[in-house]
Amino acid sequence: MSKIIGDFNNKIVITGGPGFGKSSIILELEKRGYNAQHEISRNIIKEQLDNGGDILPWKNLSTFSRLVFEKRILQHQEAGEEKFVFFDRGIPDVVAYMMKDELELPEKYVHALTEYNYNNLVFITPAWEDIFVNDAERKEDFFSACEIHKVILDTYLRLGYELVEIPKDTIEKRVDFILDKLPKL
């Protein structure tokens, strides 16, 4: 479970469409000494491509989603007890991607959305075409990235999270913005 300080949950999600700057923010937080949990999907895709595997979203989406879900649960459980733990995406992101692709949502996924919760403030990287790039692990074009972005936002909103959009600025200023929005504990 998440560390609660008063009514404060220490698990902070940074989310948004693919290619909108989340990983760069996570790397900057890590550089500043924070516990930063990296994106799981890209690691799985890279590993599968390197090993000739087929657990890829464009080949075997259902199995890929299950693996991402399991690893996100594990990431949540093992996150640590630091004052703040930052996540490049959360468990609701898996559900959003599955909903977008009209996959059946197992009951354990729905249950996990309440069992493994995050801080009420969820930081959103806005659609930003100037920084968007696709590559071997990220095959979406900008239009597709914007579509999943909308589903992700809707998913977090339906779960009762408060969304805070991160301004389009330098990585350092984006991280400063996030840290300024968090309570001084």
pLDDT tens digit sequence for 136-181: 667 788 999 999 999 999 999 999 999 999 999 999 999 999 999 9
Q: How many domains does the chain have?
A: 1
Q: What's this model's pTM, rounded to 2 decimal places?
A: 0.91
Q: How confident is the model at residue 185 (pLDDT cuts 50, 70, 90)?
A: low
Domain with residue 84: its CATH number is 3.40.50.300
> 24 is in which domain, residue-wise?
4-181
Paired tokens of 139: 């095959």
- What is the signed CA dihedral for 54, 58, 63, 66, rounded to 10 degrees? 130
CB 163 within 8 A of CB 156: yes
Which of 91, 93, 97, 85 has the alpha carbon at shortest distance from 26?
85
Q: How confident is the model at residue 125 (pLDDT cuts 50, 70, 90)?
A: very high
